[in-house]
Amino acid sequence: MAAESTAVAADAPATPRLVRLQASLVRPILMGGADRGLALANGVIALALVFGIGFSWATITVAASLLGVGHVALVILARREPELRALYFRHVQLRAFYPARPTEPRIAPLVHPSVPVSE
């Protein structure tokens, strides 16, 4: 059994094998430059606003501004971090495992003023 495993290892190439990946397999899926799920949610909220409240110039104006400003904000966020939605979900799931506090309590260092205080 050991002789077979060493024979397989001896047949392995000396250099690692390179595998080409299509760029579309590693790029995030964006819609208009924003995360697809968040862009669709933004559109659904705007449509629900128009159809839920009713057709009027006010609701159409609010929905259009929500679509415009919301999509621009989502594009800016996607430029910073394309996988922001997955990152947030991972943060929420692992919140108990990685607490936002130090592991050991520390005493605050003594702060010495740059200008002496005269009494």
CA 107 to chain centre: 34
The pairing of strands 30-31 and 34-35 is antiparallel
On whether the CB atoms of residues 35 and 42 are closer than 8 A, the answer is no
Question: Is residue 5 pLDDT above 70, yes or no?
Answer: no
pTM: 0.64
Q: What's the pLDDT at 110?
A: 72
Question: Is residue 8 pLDDT above 80, yes or no?
Answer: no
Question: Is residue 79 pLDDT above 90, yes or no?
Answer: yes
For residues 34-46, give the mean pLDDT. Answer: 95
